[in-house]
Amino acid sequence: MAKFEKRFYTTLHEAREEEKIAFETELDKDTDVEDFDVDIDVDETIVDDDPNVKAARAVGERNEAMRTTLKVWIQEMENFLEFINSQDPESIQSALSNAEPDTIFDRMKDSQQSKIARVASDIASLQQGFEGYLAQTGNAQFKYV
């Protein structure tokens, strides 16, 4: 894959150079190449006063607050998953699995372990869904959705 990737970028770079040279040769002798430069100086005070810019910033701040909340929810689900169903000796599932015979935990083991596993699976699925939405927040297509 790297061989073709390198060849692609080399070809792309060569094509840009060829286009640049062709562009410069087609210009009239008295035309400056920098006249076609697209860099524009923007007055920041005008931009800051623009209501559209203010609205876009407000939407961006709201979306960032939602992203932060979503990250907290995902972390809380992860913590709860570790609490109910992990290899940690303090987790519920581990405590039931390692229960001594003829104890409350031993009696709970048979009926509750499958429920814990099912709940953990559902929460993990929900967490993955939330992570998918979090990943999409960087996608411009979903910016105002």
User: Pick from 72, 76, 108: which is nearest to 92 by CA?
Assistant: 108
Q: Is residue 26 domain-shared with residue 79, that is, in the same domain?
A: no
| Tally of domains in the chain | 2
In a domain, 54, yes or no: no
What b/e readout covers 15-24, taking b as 16+ CB neighbours within 10 angstroms? Answer: eeeeeeeeee
Q: Is residue 81 domain-shared with residue 33, that is, in the same domain?
A: no
Alpha helices in 27-98 (DSSP H): 44-49, 51-84, 92-97
In a domain, 19, yes or no: yes
Which residues constitute the domain of residue 104?
A: 66-142
Please give the pLDDT value at position 115.
92
What letter represents residue 133's amino acid?
Answer: Y
Token duo for residue 141 = 């297509």
Q: What is the mean pLDDT of each run of 10 residues along the chain (145 residues)?
A: 70 74 75 68 68 83 90 95 91 91 89 91 95 81 57
Question: How many CB atoms are located within 10 Å of the residue 91 CB?
Answer: 18
Distance between CA atoms of 35 and 24, rounded to whole angstroms? 12
Report pTM. 0.60
In a domain, 45, yes or no: no
Q: Is residue 70 domain-shared with residue 35, that is, in the same domain?
A: no
Asked whether 144 and 98 are in contact (CB, 8 A), the reply is no
